[in-house]
Every structure is written in structure tokens, then in C-alpha cells.
Structure 1
Amino acid sequence: MNNEPKIIFEDDQLLAAYKPEGWLVHRSEIDRYENRILLQYLRDLCGQYLYPVHRLDKPTSGVIIFGKSGEIAAQLQRQLESDNSVKKYLAVCRGHCLEQGFIDYPLPPVADFKHQRKRPRAELPRQPAITLYRRLDTIELPYEVDKYPTSRYSLVEIQLKTGRRHQIRRHFKHLHHPLIGCPKYGKSSHNRFFAQQFGIERLLLHAIQLEINHPIMEKRLTINSTPKGNFLELIEKLKWDDHFRKSESKS
């Protein structure tokens, strides 16, 4: 199945694209052998140097934006770190979560390197982290995955108010509703069930919408990115597809 990056919107100042799961936004020592690098792919595709504005974790898919100059990228970055932007995600979690929620739970930095992991967790300063969510739909499947005869799951729309590393996955683990397909913060029994039953071997987290003010023109940009591949197939199979647009768009 073709699941390559795709340009969603482009003008003289910025470029927005769809990032597939499994791709790095830029090269990193954390995963030095990965050769699927979104930044280089898009630079080759548009024939122009691009500047990163924000990031999506490797297993997360969805919409991401780049500046075409360092100044534009810095301006967009400031906006994404303020209340002038909207960042929405779509996710599948274990259990039937509340209809809506406000998660205000500070998080310590993620320790990626060995010298960071040597420090006791108690010494790592916690940073403010706020996540909003809204339950879109639920399902109860007639399979015994844990200790219950059936298994419940929720489709959730999530909005980030801060941007901490792995924030959504860590916050939903804190709620005891871990995201499906996450090996680090999820639950292995449910991850295996989705792999065996639906062929899902990815994190079910997708950046579905990014809303910003255009850095030059006086207009609001709303950039949408529909889930693709087996994430989309799962949503359609569970009859959850009426909750979001089926085509990528910007306005």
C-alpha cells in the first residue's frame, strides 16, 4: 500500500504536508539508521529548502507544517506555542473514556539518551502539560482481551494546549485509557489484539487538523489531513467515519 508523504498546501511562505507513520521529521541520533526522512523528501519534492516548525513523533501520522525561510518558521513556531493555533488529533484508546475531559498533569522530560536516563526520575523537573479531549464514538467488541468477556474502545478527538514530548500518549496512560498501538505507554494485550484482528501494527494517533494565522496574508488557514491506510480502514470498519472529513483540505 502506497503511504508516502503528500503536500497538502503550499505557497511562497510555507508548506503543509501529510506525514506517514514510521517517518522521522528530520534526522536524529535517537534513530540514526532510519532513512525515511520527511524533511529531505519534501525538499526534493518542492525543490526548495524548508525549515522545521514543529514535529510529530515517528509513529504518529498527520498534518505538519514547514516554513520556507528561517524567519517564517520562527514566526509559525511562536504561534504554535501560543493560543493562536489549534492542533487536533484523532486517536483510539482502550475503554470508554469520559465524553470530554481536561487533563492538567505536569510531565517530566522524556529521557532519550543514556546520560539522561541515569538521573533519578524524582530529579527530573515536571513541566506544565494540558490536553483537551472529546469522545467521538465508542464500540464494544465480543472478544475477551483482558479479564472481561468483551473489550471496549473509544474514538477520541484531542486538542493540545501544550506540546510536551509524547504528551498525548502519556496523558492517556495517566487516565488509564492507553492509546492502541503504543508499545511504550500502551497495553501489549490490546496492541496484539488489534494486530491479529485488524492487521493494525501502528500507533493509532493521527494529527487531523492544524489551524493557524497565515504569517503574511491576513487570513486563517485550516489544514486537514484524513487518516490513511489501515487506520482509515479500521475507522470505516467500525463505522466511525462520519465524524471527520474524508478529504484533505485547507481553507
Structure 2
Amino acid sequence: MEVSNVVPDPRQPLTLLYQTVDLVAINKPHGLLVHRSPIASDASEFAVQLLRDQLGQRVYPVHRLDRKTGGVLLFALTEAMNSVMQQQFAEGTVDKTYLAIVRGYTDDEQVIDYPLRRDDGVVQDAVTALKTLQRAEIPLPFGKHATSRYSLVELKPTTGRMHQLRKHMAHILHPIIGDRPHGCNKQNKLFLDQFAMNTMLLHASRIQFTHPQTGEPIVITAPVQAEFSRMLTTLFSGYDSAILQV
């Protein structure tokens, strides 16, 4: 079985989820950087570049997704809209929803209120609301256990700290599958060996905001991508796809 963790072919167009004269949203593939970064010198393709070439105009990412995270990524098409939308994200008025597959059985619902330290030492408040959508126990031995348990969770961050969801899930001992360095390396190796899977199973499934010019509520959703879908089928046999319509 071939490992599926490659950066998307730049010859293939990005999937557009929403487009107006001043905004456009894509379903960012896992493994694709938003923009050039000195800490990822191995990358040669970036969402900003690919979308610019696809649309034939300049684009402005108004927020960020980790390289390993897939899902809704919003761009402005003018400098003015970029400024206004960045302000909305900074003020926390954009509602964001993520899906993740994590190790173990999570609580039905939980608020993770755990401050995070930046690289420069500054400690920032960080809050994430968790809701468990489905649980699974599969006959796959791991360590001293005869089976393995996993949960499909919905995550809603009310703050926007770097790697917040990844760090919060590691903090409550339910790391996201495929996460490095915050996840469980033994679980990641298990998924690589058993399922030929090394994608991080974190997906930005939905954003909601008020259009700055029209005042209209905008909701943009992104379907999960191939590897996330494969792991849902593999781990959660008979899972209810309706629960992903968040």
C-alpha cells in the first residue's frame, strides 16, 4: 500500500469552496504550505502561489493553517478586504470548526483552558471546546493493550494560538494521529506500519463570519480529504457521515 503524504500536484487546480469579487476559499490539501517559510526549505509549492496562478491575480491569505492541516483556507482578493478580514480573525469574531481523529476515548464534551507558551517565552491564554462525535475500538494490539481506541472529535478554538489544537489535545493525553512533534510517535509509527498513513488527521471543516461589506453571515465548509476519509472508514466502521456536516 502506498503511503499518502505527498504535496498535491501543482498541475492540479486547488478546490475552490467559495468565491466572490473580494474573497475566495479553498480546501487546502494536507502537506501544502500556505506561503514560503524559512523553516520549510524543502517546499517548492505554496497555496498562495498556486492560487495566484490559478486565478490570475494577487491573493492575500487572511489567516493560516499548519502545513499538515487540511481544510478551509480563506484569501482576500484586495488589500482592503485583507485588512478587514485579518482584523476579524484577530478579534476572534470568526467561528472556526475542526475535525480530528485522536488517540483514546475522549469525554463527550470538554473545554480545554490551558495557556500556551510562545517560542519567545510569552504565555498566552488558549481555550478550545471539544465535542466527541464518535468512538471506535479496533482489534489492533498496541503496547500492553489487546485493542486500540480512537475518537473522532469536533474542536472549536476560541483563541488562535500557534499549534493550539495540537498542543491542547496532547495536553489532555489524546494526541492527534499523525501529529509531530506534539503527538505520539509510537501511534504515528503504528499508523504508518499498519495503514501506510502518515497524514496528520486534523481538518479545518468550517468557518463562519460576517461579510464586512454586506453584513451577510457567510458559512464555508470543506469536505474531508482522501486520507481522512480513508481513516474514518478504516477505524469507524459504519460511521455516520451526517455527523461531519458541521
TM-score by length of 1: 0.88
1:40 aligned partner: 49
The whole-number CA distance in structure 2 between the counterparts of 1:82 and 1:189 is: 38
CA distance in 2, matches of 1:64, 1:233: 22
Contact 1:200 1:231 in 2 (8 A): no
- Does 1:135 pair with 2:129? no
Is 53-62 or 233-242 further displaced after alignment?
Answer: 233-242
Whether the 8 Å contact between 2:100 and 2:154 is mirrored in structure 1 is: yes
Post-superposition offset of 1:244: 1.3
Q: Is the 8 A contact 2:92 2:159 kept in 1?
A: no
Q: Helix, strand or coil for the counterpart of 2:123?
A: coil
- The alignment partner of 1:29 has SS state of coil
The answer as to whether partners of 1:199 and 1:230 remain within 8 angstroms in 2 is no
2:66 to 57, 60, 75: 57
Matched letter for residue 226 of structure 2: G
Structure 1, unaligned runs of 5 or more:
117-123, 247-251
Q: Which residue of 2 aligns with 1:120?
A: none
Q: Deviations over 1:165-198 (max 9, x none)?
A: 1100100111011110012011112112222222
With normalisation by structure 2, the TM-score equals 0.90
Aligned partner of 1:69 in structure 2 is 78
Aligned residues: 234
Correspondence 1:87 to 2:92? no
In the alignment, which of 213, 217, 220 is matched to residue 217 of structure 2? 220
Q: Which letter maps to 1:134? A: K
Distance in structure 1 (CA, Å) of the matches to 2:186 and 2:114: 26
SS across alignment from 1:30: coil
Aligned to 1:29: 38
Corresponding residue number in structure 2 for 1:202: 199
What CA distance in whole angstroms lies between the structure 1 residues aligned with 2:46 and 2:94? 26
Counterpart residue number, 2:113: 104
Q: Which runs of 5+ in 2 are unaligned?
A: none
Q: Identity, % of aligned pairs? A: 35
